[in-house]
Amino acid sequence: MALCPLCSERPGKRYCPAKDVQICAVCCGTKREVEIDCPAPCPYLKASRLYEMEKERRIPDPVLAVKVQKFDNGFVERNHQSMDAVCMAVAEERLNAPWLVDTDVIEVYKALAVTMRTLSSGIYYESLPEGPARISLFHRLKALLDELMKPDPGGNLRTVKVSEAIDVLDFLTVAAEANSSVRPRSRRYIDWVSEMFSRDAPAQQSSGLIIP
Ligand SMILES: [Zn+2]
């Protein structure tokens, strides 16, 4: 049996779709979503997401988690349209930027929340995240939120308030963190978003997403 090309030590027993070679179980387990960009259909990635979630789950920002847990039962009902729109925009952006990872999305949600908080105090100032991929996603989501917050002269559409946009972003941040993992290239959350909110995704109910 050929040796695993990643460590050149152990026999390559698992087919790695990202590397297109047989790699060893140890490299698969330790380098998965750390230095390997694992594609969503990989059976080893899927299995690890099922079994390792408990010990690898990322702990959400404690301040935001406390805030979000105080939201009443009607929160999701009142805001699901804005939340769906944001998730759809993330899925759309990902079509052009397949390298996006969960941390990028989480940092963009946070930067948008900071921007909205500044806006609610009457100052227009964008707190941009770092790096072109994040900035591109930031601009897409910012344009969407601006649209949702624009007053509708006909009064037919509900206008989202700045405070509501902040709550939605805080909620999405906690949901994303709770559904990601500690692996730096984790795409557990963004794969879920793509699956649920892609234009051609079948309309279905959430499969195992943890709601904060
Ligand atoms: Zn190896």
Total domain count for the chain? 2
Whether 171 is covered by a domain: the verdict is: yes
Is residue 210 included in any domain, yes or no?
no
The Å distance, Cα 47 to ligand 1 centre, comes to 19
In a domain, 9, yes or no: no
Centre of ligand 1 to C-alpha 185, Å, is 19
What's the CA angle centered on 70, arms 67 and 72, to 5 degrees? 135
Say if residue 121 is in the same domain as residue 25: no
What is the distance in A from the centroid of ligand 1 to the CA of 32? 11
Residue 66 shares a structural domain with residue 115: yes
Residues 64 and 97 in one domain: yes
> Are both 164 and 137 inside the same structural domain?
yes
The residues near 42 (Cβ < 8 Å, ≥ 6 apart) are 16, 17, 18
Tell me if the pTM is above 0.75: yes
Looking from the CA of 169 toward its CB, the CA atoms found within 13 Å total 25
Pair (91, 177) in one structural domain: yes
Q: What is the predicted pLDDT for the residue at 40?
A: 92
Domain that holds residue 138: 58-197
89 alpha carbon – ligand 1 mean position (Å): 37
Distance 161 CA to ligand 1 centre (A): 52
- pLDDT truncated to tens, each residue of the chain (212 aa)? 799 999 999 999 999 999 999 999 999 999 999 999 999 999 999 888 877 666 778 889 999 999 999 999 899 889 999 999 999 999 999 999 999 999 999 999 999 999 999 998 888 889 999 999 999 999 999 999 999 999 877 776 779 999 999 999 999 999 999 999 999 999 999 999 999 888 665 444 444 556 66
**pLDDT tens for residues 29-71?**
999 999 999 999 999 998 888 776 667 788 899 999 999 999 9
**Does a structural domain hold residue 184?**
yes
27 and 77 housed in the same domain:
no
CB neighbourhood size of 78 (10 A): 14
pLDDT score, position 156: 67
The CA-CA-CA angle for residues 35, 97, 24, to 5°, reads 25
**Residue 56: per-residue pLDDT:** 79
Shared domain for 83 and 25, answered yes or no, is no
Look at residue 85 in the predicted model and tell me its pLDDT.
95
